[in-house]
Structure 1
């Protein structure tokens, strides 16, 4: 804090104040505004010269470059450390708490959508997590989705680092990055599906419990959405995102264009056949959603789907391509 002005003893001869003497001897001198303005211009010109000579730029990095594969990987690691996370388990409830807490720290409000459904193992309770940025009440325009459960196995310990973990870690990091641009985040709805995994085999009545329920609730609002992206198994170290041949044409074209723009086109291709996943119920109600999934993953549904099979680099590639797509194409 500045102290009071200190004036020399000879500043007040004959009982009057010599202002010039005060200014000369004052410890802290606040020059007139006109002086400060004239001193500012040479400095500003000097700064402009530096920018011109050295090519300095004050532009911030594009939003997609803010996506950190390391941060996404950290979230996956936390989830994997909880162990197997099948529907109805205590570990999955801990996952929900972790996801909601992380999103809250980035400014998102998470709603729990709890429902019951009949399964081959009887009636089960599932919980979808739906998040909006801030306190948005109007409809969103674009969906970003992942399932966060792991498949139920009685004979093996299945922690789903890639299947259930990678996409969830990516979506949490996506929430952090989107929050940097509140106007963009306000147009997005994040959805974490419970019950994606079938208890036995995928059929019309087994599997995709969370997305079926979400789609049934959204049917009347489907026209408000321009589209969406589903992430699933996108952490494989040897990344090869395989789009289903029946992917919405515009979304597929945009994803390929985004990958090409970022020099990552080699990691994106088409799969040899159709893929049933959480995007399926949403497409059925008229919301075009594309599934970004690396279906060429040998440890799929085995005890070997562990943290050492995925990489921060793969998470970063998919996260940045998706953000580029959302910003430059889907919500531009």
Structure 2
């Protein structure tokens, strides 16, 4: 932060190029950029301070609340919700969790917003003690935030640096937020993953579709598919597309999106991506992988190396683990890459890599 955006992007391009240089020569597609402020569609706000004067933001080194309601990377629709949420915390008597003393109830508020302004709000609580008060005072919050569509409470009882727990308690009739992306509408449940920058995400899906169309595979796998963004955008009715994701909630959402878009030859499977590949009788002609920051790892990379797959589209949020995975797949050539500035005002970025079997 404090560095002009163009310089930030140039530094990211150099860092990514250096990491991927051993796997070239390759063709770099033009870098994708978007707004440098007001881009983030999800806020994970630590609740600090007191019940009467809560802070929404982060904790300082002494674990005291630092209020970041005016944070410039958040979409304006999110910032507009935060004063009402703060007032609700006081009204419903939700005591912020005191980390040093291990007391209190409310740990985080998680706020997501769609391009048309619909909002999902999740309260992360230490226990279920405050659920009744939240339910009682929700009409007050809805009066002030008519755009509030999905509300839930997540229970995270452990004193650990873990944001969410396993138990999610719905507090609204609606259970998912609809994220429109052109002709495809993704449905985001409470725990569903979606890229934090909607503008860049749309370009990322379009890039995968363009590469997929270029090589016209008859079979496509989308591993770590989440709510199905890549699979749904790459489906054209002729090729067989299979999405795999460990979250059953996300798979149900992906199936709903496919049905609404009337997409043929698309299937979604709830399961571990690595185990799905290892247990399959046949490999796809083209695979799309969008793993977490740790990358696909040695087991899946080795499987691709032994497989008959001709093309891999690798979407990476960590170019260091991307490079490590490429090193494990010497039978593939990194032919093209594209940097997407998914996270302005930070050192992070997304990389799209096109791998072709040599």
Taking structure 2 as the reference length, what is the TM-score of the superposition? 0.28
Which of these two proteins has the greater Rg computed from alpha carbons? 1
Taking structure 1 as the reference length, what is the TM-score of the superposition? 0.29
